[in-house]
Homo-oligomer: A and B are copies of this chain.
Amino acid sequence: MRVSQRQKLAAAFRTRALRCTPPRYAVLDYLLRNPVHATAEEVFRAVNETDPRASRATVYNSLHALTRAGLVREVLLDGKAARFDANVHRHHHFVCERCGAVKDVAAWTALPRPPLAAFPAGSVVETYEVVFRGRCAGCSGATDLEERNG
């Protein structure tokens, strides 16, 4: 990691009262440089390869600490593993139902406000997310038969 990059991360950590520790640098640096919505396991493998002492538990701890601090966003798109995204600006996601690829969809405009009656009375909405599902370019021509044959 470049010195200047580490200094940026350290500043972000300190602003949020997060301790600066090697695994936290490594986790956030990895997510920033690999904006592919990695799972915790993928982050673990990458971080652990650089520093074999880094453990799974610590990667989970770091991901949660970074998420709580607002430096990382946890994205739940399938029933398997949570994914983590260092892009915390408002945006949505497109998921390919066939190959599982996840792509960002730029936030194009605010959602039209639904009638208040649509929400449970007294509730307060803080955020919303839109998940689009379909087939990515590489999979949109493929048939189910091809899919089954790999």
Contacts and interface: CB of A to CB of B under 8 A. Distances in A.
Interface of A: 74, 76-79, 82, 94, 96-97, 103, 105-106, 108-109, 111-112, 114-115, 118-138, 140
Given A125-B134, A128-B131, A132-B128, A109 B108 contact: no
Nearest to A74: B79
Given A118-B105, A131-B131, A136 B123 contact: yes
A122 B141 CA distance: 10
B112 A137 contact: no
28 contacts: A76-B76, A76-B78, A94-B119, A94-B125, A97-B126, A103-B120, A103-B123, A105-B118, A105-B119, A106-B114, A108-B114, A109-B112, A111-B112, A119-B132, A120-B136, A120-B137, A121-B137, A122-B138, A123-B136, A125-B133, A125-B134, A126-B133, A126-B134, A127-B132, A127-B133, A128-B133, A129-B133, A131-B131
